[in-house]
Amino acid sequence: GAVVSQHPSRVICKSGTSVKIECRSLDFQATTMFWYRQFPKQSLMLMATSNEGSKATYEQGVEKDKFLINHASLTLSTLTVASAHPEDSSFYICSALTRRSYNEQFFGPGTRLTVL
């Protein structure tokens, strides 16, 4: 149980295009979902926290207009990187909390974004 999927697993796009990444909780309802960014050989950086049906809460320094988060249902959150540029290339990981998991987050497999 508590499986989180991400789609796509890998995306390569041209500079200036927008990219949407989906995060789904497959066998549970996620009260809260998180989006992280990870650079090579580094730890995870929390970008934003989202709750179903409400606006995401962004961490300091994260551009809301660049990284658009929508948490439309209890099983789906999306991250859209608007007008992506090479500096947005990174590994993006989502995670989810369940009502019963208390503070244990379940992580997706990650999405590798490469912007040319």
Name the amino acid, one letter, at 57: T
Query: Segment near other proteins (CB under 8 A), from 13-21, 41-49, 62-70, 72-80?
Result: 41-49
By CB under 8 A, residue 80 contacts other proteins: no
51-80: b (≥16 Cβ within 10 Å) or e: bbeeebebeeebeeeebbbebeebbebbbe
By CB under 8 A, residue 70 contacts other proteins: no
Report the interface residues with other proteins, using CB under 8 A. Answer: 4, 6, 32, 34, 41-44, 46, 49, 93, 95, 97, 102-110, 112
